[in-house]
Structure 1
Amino acid sequence: MLVAGYSWIVFGISVALAALSLYALVHAALQREDAFRAADKQTKPFWLLILGLAVVVQFLPLGAFGFMLVLAGIVATIVYLVDVRPAVRAISGGGRGGGRSSSDGPYGPYNGNR
């Protein structure tokens, strides 16, 4: 009974990681190609290839060697989401606040009555 419960946990984690990789792939596909170069990151086709392979490998039964490929795909996905995605979004203007400064109030910039 314990093994059956453990297999459902592993299956849930696998599905969540596959969904995360798919999200990263879709995000990379929707970004402008010049934003990757402007952010001084690898090119868009490079990330589409790496993230696409990460998604495909998670659904192939490859045995023990497949585990290493899945692990490499997860690492690539995490690198994209933590490092590349914020840099590309900052270049594309997709960051939080829509280009507003941190000192802006609801009606415009706050200047402290100066």
Structure 2
Amino acid sequence: MASIFEFQNAVASISFLVLLALKIWALVDALLRPAEAYEATGKLTKPAWLLILGLAVGAALVFPSVFGLLGILGIVAALVYVLDVRPALVSVTRRR
């Protein structure tokens, strides 16, 4: 029985670390994009995304849980940035 709980804890720990890395990567990527690109795409402003992603990373570090409300909100924010905002920013800032 103990091995089942050890496996569950290992999966939760690995999930937390992978999702924390995603949140940190999204925050760093948002920092590196020019503010004008956010305005050109019609998305939220750069300071707004930095605040949202910064809170997501901070909440993950203070409350380390994948299944808590703050953890889920942070995951959703990072995924929205990575899957919606980032591709739009890349298309605007692509080198020609």
With the length of structure 2 as denominator, give the TM-score of the two structures: 0.91
C-alpha displacement at 1:5, in angstroms? 1.2
C-alpha displacement at 1:57, in angstroms? 0.7
C-alpha displacement at 1:73, in angstroms? 0.7
The aligned counterpart of 1:2 is: 4
- Is the counterpart of residue 80 in structure 1 residue 94 in structure 2? no
Residue identity opposite 1:4 in structure 2: E
Q: Distance in 2 between matches of 1:62 and 1:16?
A: 12
Q: Distance in 1 between matches of 2:15 and 2:28?
A: 20
Partner-residue secondary structure (3-state), 2:7: helix
- Is the counterpart of residue 11 in structure 1 residue 21 in structure 2? no
Structure 1 consecutive aligned stretches of length 4 or more whose deviation exceeds 4 Å: none
- Is the counterpart of residue 49 in structure 1 residue 63 in structure 2? no
* Unmatched 5+ stretches in structure 1: 100-114
The aligned counterpart of 2:41 is: 39
Q: Distance in 2 between matches of 1:18 and 1:12?
A: 10
* Unmatched 5+ stretches in structure 2: none
Per-residue CA distance 1:54-84 (angstroms, 9 max, x = gap): 1111111388xx8101101100100000100
Map 1:97-108 → 2, pairs under 5 A: 99=96
Is the contact between residue 35 and residue 45 of structure 2 (CA under 8 Å) also seen in structure 1? yes
Q: Return closer, same or farther for 1:10/1:62 CA change in 2, 3 Å cut-off.
A: closer
Percent identity of paired positions between Structure 1 and Structure 2: 38
CA RMSD in angstroms, aligned pairs only: 1.6
Equivalent in 21, 25, 35 of residue 27 of structure 2: 25
Of the two structures, which has the highest relative contact order with CA contacts closer than 8 Å and spacing of 6 or more?
2
For the pair shown, the structure with the greater C-alpha radius of gyration is 1
Q: Return closer, same or farther for 1:6/1:16 CA change in 2, 3 Å cut-off.
A: same
Q: Return closer, same or farther for 1:92/1:62 CA change in 2, 3 Å cut-off.
A: closer
Q: Which has the higher helix share?
A: 2
